[in-house]
Structures are given as structure tokens and as C-alpha cells.
Chains A and B, each alone.
Chain A
Amino acid sequence: MNPVLVSTALPLGDDALVLAQRLGEWAGHAPVLEEDVALANIALDLLGQARVLLSLVGDEDELAFGREERAFRNVQLVEQPNGDFAHTIARQLYFSTYQELLYTELAQGDSELAPLAAKAVKEVAYHHDHARQWTLRLGDGTAESHERMQRGLDALWRFTGELFQPVEGLGTDLGALREPWLERVSAVVRQATLTMPEGPDVTSWSAGAGRQGIHTESFGRMLAEMQHLHRAHPGATW
């Protein structure tokens, strides 16, 4: 196993896989049929990215279904439960903005992740546009939607600092993405008549934790559901 890929493709693959799993939970529950289509479509893109990235490291199914919670390297942001639609959109806005910046950088590099990044950056641009448009509609919609959208942004803020913690071997200075990320996110938030959350974007406990295999409580339950069937039939092919 290539150690550089383990330290780079695995965390990014886990981000995509875990967010796909969360978004998949919306199927049949979306507020409007168009969003059943859109959220499933975004989940499918992310799942596709995850499969490419995990396959660079090893067997995609062994990695997805065979690892324990502590072996997952995704950021805590993507594992956060869906909450209401505004909460999901806030998570999408934070993460898609990050992923678009990151993949743009990686696509320009010459690492083994470059081909995937070059393809995925187009998908992620759509994810970002989707999140931006809904942030505007909810922020500048009704009093209720405004309040819910603000609550979503505020609640997830403390998981955003972790996005910029270094990932060893990536060849990209993630810390340098923080400024452009802030600029982009705050432009959308302002246009949506919302305010940027205040307070720390990490806690002393959570800084860099997901990347080190420390997750939040709901993650174990999510994995239990995701992995159960595969694990119940060791050695079976599907």
C-alpha cells in the first residue's frame, strides 16, 4: 500500500463517502421532488469520488465496510446528522466551498489525485451552486427560513476549522485555503441577508480530530447501519 495515498486519498475518500451516506438519508424525505433528485444526484457524485479515492488505497468495500470508527479519516463536518433542510444546506455550503477550492488546487498539481480532482471539480462546482442558491432562498425567504438557515450555519461553524488542518503528503497547503474559503462563504451569507457565525471555528477537543480518527457520537451509529449487512456475511460477494 502506497503510504502517501493512504495519508491523502483515504481522508478525502472518507469525506466523500460519509457525506454521500448522509445525503442518501434524504431520499424520499425531501421538501420538494426536485430536491429528492438534486440531493440524490449530489450523493451519487460524492459516492463516485469516494470509490475512485478508496480504490487508490485498496479494496473499496473492505475499506468502507471493514474499518472501525476510529480508522475513518473524514472531517467531523460531513458526519453531522442531516437536521432540517437548512442544516443540510449549511453543511453543503461549508463543505462544497472547501471541496471546490481543494479539488481546483489538486487538479493543477501532478499528484495521483490530480485526474480525479480534475473530473470532480466540475461536479463540486454544481454542488456549490446548489448550496449557494438554497442559502439565498432560505436566508432571504421568510422569517422562519431565515432563522433556520442562520441556526444551521451557527451550529456547524465549530466544525469548519478542521477543514484546514494539514493532511500529510497532500502537497497542498490547506491552511492557505482558509482565506478564500471565508471570502466565498461570507459573500454568500451576506447576500442571503444572514450573518457570519462568531466564535471559535474549532474546539480544543475537535481540532483536527476527524482526520485523526476521533469522531462524534452519531458517527458510530451511522457506520453500524451502513456496515451491518456487509459484515453479517463475511466473504460473500454482492
Chain B
Amino acid sequence: MTTAATVEEAAPQAGLLAAFESALAEDSRIEPRDWMPDAYRATLIRQMAQHAHSEIIGMQPEANWISRAPSLRRKAILMAKVQDEAGHGLYLYSAAETLGVGRDELLDKLHAGRQRYSSIFNYPTLTWADVGAVGWLVDGAAITNQVPLCRCSYGPYARAMVRICKEESFHQRQGYELLLALSRGTEAQHAMAQDAVDRWWWPSLMMFGPPDTESGHSEQSMAWKIKRHSNDELRQRFVDICVPQAEVLGLTLPDPDLRWNEERGAHDFGDIDWTEFHEVLRGNGPCNEQRITQRRTAHEQGAWVREAATAYAAKQGTEHGEVR
């Protein structure tokens, strides 16, 4: 009996799977009400949650400099940027909601250490120039990763990414312009800019994830058209974009093996320290503890505010009910 029931259930399932696969093959979008395999849904939730968490944790290293920005113009730019990141967090949590998971549930998982955020935010912003380096390199790497996501097979995610990428590319230009001003400024400012680039270059290259030979999720994500290019392809693209930009900046990239390879039509670059990458991922980066503690503290200290808002909304609802 069990076998018969399974066969009966499997038949419509097979039809749904075929429809899903043909939608992928035609490059059309999967929408929230469309049937999708559980594993596709789970992969998207994991990736979108990680992305949303990265936006809100990513506010911290930059907000670290809002109070100290050295001119009012820079302060305004930085405030607007941090505000945009909170906004990106909101779009992404909303997009994830279309898959049936609420923001509260995802935040609980983040706070419990059961979902990740981008490891890059476990590095500290030590000087003002770090604000520029984060904009140029970290946002630059994020854009390289995210532009292909605008064509991701899941509609709400793809559409959120279109908007996010526009704002991110604005942030990247602002970061670059900040570094350019420092590089062309006083000797101390130039040194500050070079030091920041020296510290952020390698962690930025790690943002593309482990090499293709070791990347666990890549193959399935490519088949589902969630991911469109491999980690190594994107990393190479990023290096090739950055080299000429660094030259214009008048700053050097901290890699003695970095050189143009005529044959490949691309830059060769040195070996990435994957031990560092795995250590930071495991929680042993310079700021892992600090970042998650600040996030949890803000959430816990804000609990009474959220409870008040809920209680107030409930009272309003009741009162309106009584009036009617």
C-alpha cells in the first residue's frame, strides 16, 4: 500500500519537476507560487539569509567611522551608505519571506550562530582609509559576485539584486574616490590609504569563496541557475578589474606575484592563504565575537521596543474592532 501511495504521489511530482526544469532551461523566472524542489528552496533560503545577514553585520565596520568622519560631506556619504545597507537587509529579508521564512526566524538563526554572514566583516576598520578600501574592494568584490545574481532563476531575489547592485556600484565609486583623495593628499594620508589596501586586498579575494576544486555548493547552484559563474572565474574577473584601478589610484596591491599573463589574457596572482580563510570562517577572525555580540545586544536591548510596538498594534486593532 505504501508503495502504491508513493507512486501516486510521485506522478504529479514528476510533472511539477518537469515544469520547473523547463522553466530553468528557458531561462524564465521561478516565482514564489511556482512549485520548486525542497532543496532549491533550502539553498535559496540559505544564500539569501546569508546575504541579508551580511548587509546588517556589514553596517558595523562602517558605522564605526560615522562619528569620526573627517568632513561633513564624507560624514553624509557614509551615513547614507550605512542606511542603504540597512535597506538592502530589508529587501533581502522580504525576498526571503516569499520562500516562507520570516525575518525573526532568520535573525534568531544568525544570533545563534546557525546561519552565516560574509566573513569579510570579521576584519576591523582601523583607520579612516579603511572606509575607502571597504568601498572599493569589498563592495567591488560584492558587485562582481552579485551582478550575475540579477539573472538568478528566483524572481524576487533577482529583482532585489537589480536595485542593490545599482546602490552598491555607487558605494564602490564613493570608496574609490575617497581613496583617491587620500592617495593624492598629504604623505600621511597616502600612507593611510596604502596601509588600508594592504590589509583589505587578500581578504577581498577570499570573498569569492574557496577555489572551484573545493567549493561544496557550486555545481548544484549552477545547474539551478542561482549561480552563473564559478568562484575562480569571478575572482579572476575582480583581479583584472582592480589592477588598472590601483594604478590610477597610485597605490600598489600587496602581491609580488601579480603580473599580466599575455597568454591567458589575464593577471596571474599569488596563492591565497586559505588557512586564514578557514580560521575566520570558524570564528577565529579578529572581530567575529565582537560583531555577533553587538548584533545580539542590539536585538536583546531592543526587545522591549518591539514588544511595545506589537502590544500597541494589538490594542489599536481591538479598539477599532470595538468602534465597529
Give the interface of A toward B (CB within 8 A): 17, 21, 24-25, 27-37, 40-41, 43-44, 47-48, 50-51, 54, 60-61, 64-65, 84-85, 136-138, 140-142, 144-145, 148, 225-226, 228-230, 233, 235-238
Contact = CB atoms under 8 A, between A and B. Distances in A.
Contacts, number: 144
B14 interface: no
Interface string B289-315: 000001001110111111111111101
A65 B72 CA distance: 9
Nearest to A39: B83
A52 to B, nearest CB: 11
A50 B56 CA distance: 28
A141 B74 contact: no
A34 B86 CA distance: 8
Contacts of A25: 66-67
Nearest to A60: B72
B200 interface: no
Is chain A's binding surface mostly helix, strand, loop or mixed?
helix
User: DSSP majority for the B interface?
Assistant: helix
A38 to B, nearest CB: 9
Contact of A28 (B178, B185, B298, B315): B298
B249 to A, nearest CB: 16
A237 B305 contact: no
Given A24-B66, A228-B68, A233-B189, A32 B306 contact: yes
Contacts of B309: 32, 137, 141
Contacts of B71: 61, 65, 230, 238
B308 A142 contact: yes
Contact of A44 (B56, B59, B76, B298): B76
A145 B72 contact: no
B89 interface: yes
Contacts of B59: 27-28, 36
Contact of B304 (A34, A41, A142, A229): A142
A229 B128 contact: yes
B135 to A, nearest CB: 14
Closest 7 CB pairs between A and B? A31-B302, A141-B308, A145-B308, A40-B83, A31-B305, A27-B63, A36-B86
